[in-house]
Structure 1
Amino acid sequence: MKAIIFKTNNDWTGLILRLTLGLILFPHGAQKVLGWFGGPGFNAEMQFFTQTLYIPWLIGFLVIVIEFAGAIALIAGFASRLCAAAIIGLFTGIIFVGQHAQNGFFMNWFGNQQGEGYEYHLLIIGLALAVIVQGSGKFSVDRKMQHAC
């Protein structure tokens, strides 16, 4: 199992993919956990998930953990394939539970839609799929762990 989770190539592609994905997700996770970047912080976000969206607390908690800890793990290159799989599940759920599917494909650039479409989510899913295929690449904890296995 360790070999599957930590297996990676020593290339730049995995590094670029995981850093792009991790650096895009980190601010969203930091909003939810720390209240950075104008975010609500952990307690308010959990309240929003459970009392406004009526999402079970465990699912809300997992959303926050995947976006925050998953982003940090990706940046470090730790268990990147596992993090990427969790992100795929999360963003697939966001498309449908977050009602982005009903808003169509495009983001709401001009404010003329009910809400955001799902194009951003598909980009995240595509990056995560590429991380699963490629691995963490250069300068990753996974690479160190692969040699330790």
Structure 2
Amino acid sequence: MLRFAFGAVMFTHGVPKALRTSHGSMADPMGGSINLIQNVMGLPFAPQLAFLVMLLETIGAIMLALGLWARPVAFLIALQMVGISYALGPTWPWIDRGIEFPVLMGFLALYIAVRGSGRFSMDQKLRLSI
């Protein structure tokens, strides 16, 4: 249930990027991701990296919810959460976009990456040892 719920939450962050629709207080989530990657983190190829983030948060989230290749997908999400936490800086406000949520989600993803997808997963049904 935890894996499914986590995948569903991640999916809600990916769909607005994919559809280029507003999400909460963000008018343009994909533009926000590009800005964060390019201007805050200073990384090159920001639009391409933002596209990969969108794929991870949509297709990867569905795979995580279903338990299909859950370990590698969860590991990639954990890496994404490390990047988000780094970009947001060492602030821990309970409001106004602190890093407590990406840190929590990062540890949840790391837990799934280490423990695997569980008994009720596509990995188990297909006998994948990923």
Question: In structure 2, what is the equivalent of residue 39 of structure 1?
Answer: 23
Q: Which runs of 5+ in 1 are unaligned?
A: 1-15, 109-114
Question: In structure 1, what is the equivalent of residue 2 of structure 2?
Answer: 17
| RMSD (CA atoms) | 2.5
Question: In structure 2, what is the equivalent of residue 105 of structure 1?
Answer: 92
Question: In structure 1, what is the equivalent of residue 120 of structure 2?
Answer: 139
Say which of 87, 90, 96 aligns to 2:80: 90
Q: Percent identity?
A: 32
Q: Distance in 1 between matches of 2:4 and 2:47?
A: 29
Question: In structure 2, what is the equivalent of residue 126 of structure 1?
Answer: 107
8 Å Cα contact 1:107-1:120 kept in structure 2: no
Structure exhibiting the larger radius of gyration computed from Cα positions: 1
Q: CA offset at residue 139 of structure 1? A: 2.5
The answer to which of 120-129 and 27-36 deviates more is: 27-36
Q: Distance in 1 between matches of 2:115 and 2:2?
A: 9
Inter-CA distance 78–46: structure 2 relative to 1 (3 Å threshold)? same
Query: TM-score, normalization: structure 2?
Result: 0.77
Tell me the secondary structure at the aligned position of residue 63 of structure 1: helix
Inter-CA distance 138–33: structure 2 relative to 1 (3 Å threshold)? same
Q: Which runs of 5+ in 2 are unaligned?
A: none
Q: CA offset at residue 148 of structure 1? A: 9.1
Inter-CA distance 68–32: structure 2 relative to 1 (3 Å threshold)? same
Query: TM-score, normalization: structure 1?
Result: 0.69
Say which of 59, 68, 79 aligns to 2:69: 79
Displaced runs of 4+ in structure 1, greater than 3 A?
44-50
Bigger relative contact order, structure 1 or 2 (CA pairs below 8 A, ≥6 apart): 1
Q: Distance in 1 between matches of 2:112 and 2:129?
A: 21
Count of residue correspondences: 120
Pairing 1:29–2:10 present: no
